Structure 1
Amino acid sequence: MKILLILPGTYPYRIGGVSTWAHSLISNLKDLKFDILSVMDGTHLTPKFSIPPNVERVYLVKRGSSPFRNNRSHEFMRDLREEFIPSLRLLLNYLLENGSCELAAKAVSKLRRSFVRYGQEMLFRSREVWSFFKRYLSGKNWLGDMSIWELNHSIRLLGDFLKPLELDLGRYDVVHSALAGFSGLIGIVQKLEYGASYILTEHAIYYRERFYDMIGCGDSFRRFWSIVFRRISELNYCWADEIITVSKFNARWQKELGADEKRIKIIPNGVDANRFKPISEIVDRWAVVSVIRIDPLKDVMNLIEAMSYVADEIPEARCYIYGPVTDHRYMDYCMARVSDLRLEDHVKFMGCISNPEVAYNRGWVVAQPSMSEGAPIAVIEAMACGKPVVATEVGGVPEILGDAGILVPPRNPKALARGIIKILSDERLAEELGLRARMRVLRKFTIQKVVREYMETYRELIRSRAEKPS
């Protein structure tokens, strides 16, 4: 069985929940062979994980990094006019005019041929494509007028999102995408051209998180991309053989976005409970720990604000934040806010850590302040370490935490502070919640359970494909 695992923005180049899930899945399915397709921004990328031996190849697509080669040959111009632009029009018709998902998939397959032959930069920097895109959008009166900058940025983004189509991949038995976004188009093409099985696992709802990204953008730009992101998700749902998600919360969103309920399966995230376990000797009695990336969606600012209230009540309290910086401007805002609130002695940014189980065990309480989540592995890891967790009531967090922690409203620093203070002030409550948390993980969220379910999913899809008449 040959599997292509598509991991945009994550494994093996970035630490985070999806990367942890991918590494655990591959490492525990030792009898299967994987290729990895990673789609990343940036140029200086080094793996943050040791690649397991059952990974045969890692494809890295760097968005916005291709050298520009001008080509005005007769052959290129003919292909541009007769194949590429008509196929791009069909895709845009699907995205903006409720076109057929079958025609959209065929259009993507044709676009792929042009991408493989000429590359994204050559196609999307041509005057003809830019002029077509401008004319096409100008005919959509309901969209409103985009500025020249927004038009340029939109066509650049569209080209970058479609860039994985440049890869001339071989045939796979299974394509498994960790995102219902543009990178999932590879799975659709593989299914259409080679009959591969296409699996989708959504840890967080792609459309929902992209919507947060567009807060503050211009009206026309936001309207255009809101529709595009939603329709790309719907296209993935239309073609996926299995739509796996990590929580009931996500499943409700998927159904709302048009996914077939019969193809939705919930496989929660899981952790290695032998690695993530209590280590009582290193606990700091007044430590609040958070293991999150520094990113607006994780709402680190919420935790900083909360710590100002905690420090007023419990001066001994210290907050240690572990995780990579994915938004450096946001990190600057966070550091400035720490300074404004004079919390330099109470809030410490610790950077990445290779052994997060040590970080969790250092804390008396673990805080998760996000404004949006799917089913955060960090919460499960903390629970496995026997830690009481105070978390925002977002996404699948309530399903994970159950009665083994404290839920608070998102974007409410006072409520988050009250939860933290409650656990710091009550040793018996902290111990009781920690025990409940550990037992809940052992019952519901072990990596062994997750691996068994994915293995059975792969096998069932291969069996079903073999039984279909050719």
Structure 2
Amino acid sequence: MRIALLTEGTQAGAQRGEGGWCGRLVDGLPEHEFRLYRLLPADRPAPPTGVRGLHGVHELPMWGRRPAGRGPAPLRRRSYLKAYEDLVRALVLPGERDGFGPALYRLAALGRDDDALPAFLASGHAHRALERIWRTPGADTAAGQPQVCDVLVAADLLEQCLRPLSAPWYGTGPAGLGGADLCHVVGGGPAALPALVARELHGVPFVVTEHGLHLREQYRGYRTAPYRWPVRALLLSFFRQLTEETYRQAAILTPGSAYDRQWQQRCGGDPARTRIVHEGTPATARAAAGAEPAAPTLVWAGALEPGRDPELMLHAFAQVRAELPDARLTVYGEEGAPGYLAHCEAIAERLGIAAAVEFAGRPDSLAAAWEAGSAVVFSALAQRSPRLLADAMLSGRAVVATEVGVAREVLGPTGLLVPPRSPRALAGACLALLRDHERRSRLGLAGRLRAQERFAVEPVVGAFREIYLELVSRYPAFPARPGTPARPFTRPAEYWVAGGEAPPPAAEPVAGPALAEAV
């Protein structure tokens, strides 16, 4: 089976996915032919993929200077302008939302014919259309009074976001997405654009895997983006509608947790086409942490920023210290907000616990951080990713966490959950563990076994082996193209049984039985 992996190389998660998660997927499924298609910054050298066993790597410069090229001819410009106006209306007018997908595919089809899409999006014709529609009465962003500078900035950002529509990847040859049996989008966002176009042009189905929801990260990132409010609103509207279109068209969605699944369903994801596949990690083979330190020690790890709420940990530890004078706290993590480390040190000094608290900075390894404590504590206000929690559980140390995000789903009955922003509850849970060695050992072992079961690499690879076969078996009737090699799933099984007459294709594929969520 020929599988196209689509990622966005500008995102830290995508880089991790290419070299780590995607690499493990390719290594675990050697029977399939994988090709990597990735979007990269235009002004930086391409990093190594870090994935062995690929049958090809295709890259598209996305962010940065526009690629050279001429705009469309005057007659053809009208078609471009009509499609672009429909796209902008869908972004700013509440009653025009349904036009987003058709306008997107129309722009892709036009750009495929003459390669003039990037130049058109940067032209004055596109700028004037954007300004006119953006200032239409009733538009979502009209109240912000977009200025000329906003139009120029937003037009440039939209051009960069839409570059995948003009990528040279949509042929039916072996290197084109039209020659793949399916596409696998890792990370969502703009990386899904080629998969949407391939589905529209060639009928190729696609899977979406998100270990950190792209739309959620955009909402968080644009809070501090260096743009005026109308520009931020327009770009967030684009990402929101792109996400909704992606979830609507995807054959199968594979979020990394039930918490992410709820976000996807809120954005239109179909529960019948959703399979939870936890993010596997090779750390499951790591040996458990050794003997505990002589003094009762709590370990806290994470970025030093308000969202991780190390202040809660410090106030809770002050109460722990009052009950256990020999208790210690080690804080691992780099400063995530300017001046926040000094702020935390001042709090520790004011609470009278500075002598028992060590701000150890970035650890040599996570395994070494967990081994330095008797128990591990997470006090975050939001826990979006299970990665750090699972790694702590794999150490065999007992875990205490605030009940937010994925914490309950990951820890289950193997750890202690407390309400957020409650120093008394957190201190009580920490004291309960520090005073009971047998309970710490029992919970630590149970947590390690639970993490090994849920986050091992082999179940993840097995889940995608089943998903790929299930998916391609439900999209059997790919049309044969003259001059292209035969494809393994060109004909459904019924074709050979029925004497060469294939049944008429269904209008929409039917989702198969749900795979096991805990893999």
TM-score normalised by structure 2 residue count: 0.74
Query: Any unmatched runs of 5+ in structure 2?
Result: 170-175, 322-326, 477-491, 493-502, 506-519
Structure-1 separation of matches of 2:394 and 2:139: 51
Residue equivalent to 1:113: 112
CA distance in 1, matches of 2:13, 2:215: 23
> Which residue identity does 2:217 align to in structure 1?
E
Deviation digits for residues 123-163 of structure 1, max 9, x if unmatched? 44322222211111111534223443443333233222223
Once the two structures are superposed, the pairs formed by residues 13-32 of structure 1 within 5 Å of their partners are: 14-15=15-16, 20-32=20-32
Q: How far has the Cα of 1:29 moved from its partner?
A: 2.1
SS class of match (1:280): coil
| More deviation, 398-407/204-213 | 204-213
User: What's 1:181 paired with?
Assistant: 189
What residue number does 2:125 align with? 128
From 215, 222, 232, the counterpart of 2:242: 232
Letter of the 2:112 counterpart: R
| Structure 1 residues 141 and 402, CA gap change in structure 2 (3 angstroms) | same
Matched, 1:251 2:261: yes
Question: Does 233-242 or 267-276 show the bigger shift?
Answer: 267-276
1:91 corresponds in structure 2 to: 87
Asked whether 1:286 is paired with 2:294, we answer no
- Following TM superposition, by how much is the alpha carbon of 1:66 offset from its aligned partner in structure 2, in angstroms? 2.6
Whole-angstrom distance in 1 between the partners of 2:467 and 2:284: 25
Give the distance between the partners of 1:280 and 1:188, measured in 2 at CA.
Answer: 49
Deviation for aligned residue 1:6: 2.2
Aligned with 1:25: secondary structure?
A: helix
In our comparison, the structure showing a higher alpha carbon Rg is: 2
Match of residue 310, structure 1, among 301, 317, 320 = 317
Correspondence for 2:134: 137
Q: Secondary structure at the match of 1:109?
A: helix
Structure 2 CA distance, aligned partners of 1:381 and 1:359? 11
Does 1:394 pair with 2:391?
Answer: no
| Worse-matched range after superposition: 220-229 or 389-398 | 220-229
2:4 aligned counterpart, secondary structure:
strand
**CA-CA distance at 1:331 after TM superposition:** 4.0
1:50–1:175 Cα change, 3 Å? closer
One-letter code aligned to 1:194 = H
Q: Deviations over 1:178-206 (max 9, x none)?
A: 23423211111111112212111232443
Identify if the C-alpha distance between structure 1 residues 68 and 108 changes in structure 2 by more than 3 Å, giving closer, same or farther: closer
Structure 1: where are the runs of 5+ without partners?
Answer: none
* Deviating more after overlay: 367-376 vs 171-180: 367-376
* Runs of 4+ with deviation above 6 angstroms: 411-414
* CA separation of 1:64 and 1:254: change in aligned 2, threshold 3 A: closer
> For the residues of structure 2 that align with 1:347 and 1:158, how far apart are their CA atoms?
43
Residue 439 of structure 1, aligned match among 441, 446, 449: 449
**Equivalent residues of 1:87, 1:110 under 8 A apart:** no
- Aligned residue number for residue 324 of structure 2: none
Does the 8 Å CA contact 2:299/2:370 hold for their aligned counterparts? no
Q: TM-score, normalised by structure 1?
A: 0.81
SS at match of 1:31: coil
Alignment of 1:209 onto 2:220 = no
Pair 216,173 (structure 1): closer, same or farther in 2 beyond 3 Å: same
Change in 2 beyond 3 A, CA 1:35/1:41: same
| Cα distance change, pair 416–138 in 1 and its aligned pair in 2 (3 A) | farther
For the pair 1:154 / 2:154, whether they are aligned, the reply is: yes
Q: Relative to structure 1, is the Cα distance of residues 154 and 439 closer, same or farther in structure 2, using a 3 angstrom cutoff?
A: same
* Alignment partners' CA distance in 2, 1:333 and 1:174: 48
Q: 148-157 vs 419-428, which deviates more?
A: 419-428
Secondary structure in 1 aligned to 2:282? Answer: coil
1:285-364 to 2 correspondences below 5 Å = 286=297, 288-290=299-301, 294=303, 299-300=307-308, 302-303=309-310, 306-307=313-314, 309-310=316-317, 313-314=320-321, 316-321=328-333, 330-341=336-347, 346-350=358-362, 356-364=366-374
Give 1:457 deviation, angstroms: 0.6
Question: Which residue type is aligned with residue 4 of structure 1?
Answer: A
Tell me how far apart the structure 1 counterparts of residues 379 and 41 of structure 2 sit (CA, whole Å): 26
Match of 1:76, SS state, is coil
Query: Does 1:453 pair with 2:460?
Result: no
Q: Tell me the number of residue pairs that the alignment of Structure 1 and Structure 2 aligns.
A: 451
Structure 1 residues 10 and 45 mapped into 2: Cα distance closer, same or farther (>3 Å)?
farther
Cα pair distance change 1:31/1:367, threshold 3 Å: farther
Structure 1 pair 240/333, CA: closer, same or farther in 2 (3 Å)?
Answer: farther
State yes or no: 1:57 paired with 2:69.
no
Q: Counterpart amino acid of 2:25? A: L
The change in CA–CA distance for 1:276 and 1:153 in structure 2 (over 3 A counts) is farther
**In 2, Cα distance between equivalents of 1:125 and 1:388:** 56
- The AA in structure 1 aligned to 2:252 is E
Structure 2 letter corresponding to 1:66: R
Q: For 1:267, what is the secondary structure of its paired residue?
A: coil
Counterpart residue identity of residue 21, structure 2: W
Residue pair 2:188, 2:214 contacting (<8 A) in 1 also: yes
Distance change >3 Å, CA 372–CA 82, structure 1 → 2: farther
Residues 189 and 321 of structure 1, relative CA distance in 2, 3 Å threshold:
same
**Structure 2 letter corresponding to 1:135:** R
Q: Please, what is the CA RMSD of the aligned residues?
A: 3.7
Pick aligned residue for 1:385 from 395, 398, 413: 395
Counterpart in the other structure of 2:208: 200
Q: For the Cα contact (< 8 Å) 2:19–2:49, is it kept in 1? A: no
Three-state SS of the structure 2 residue aligned to 1:55 is: coil
CA separation of 1:271/1:67 partners in 2, compared to 1, >3 Å: closer, same or farther? closer
Deviation at 1:317, TM superposition (A): 1.5
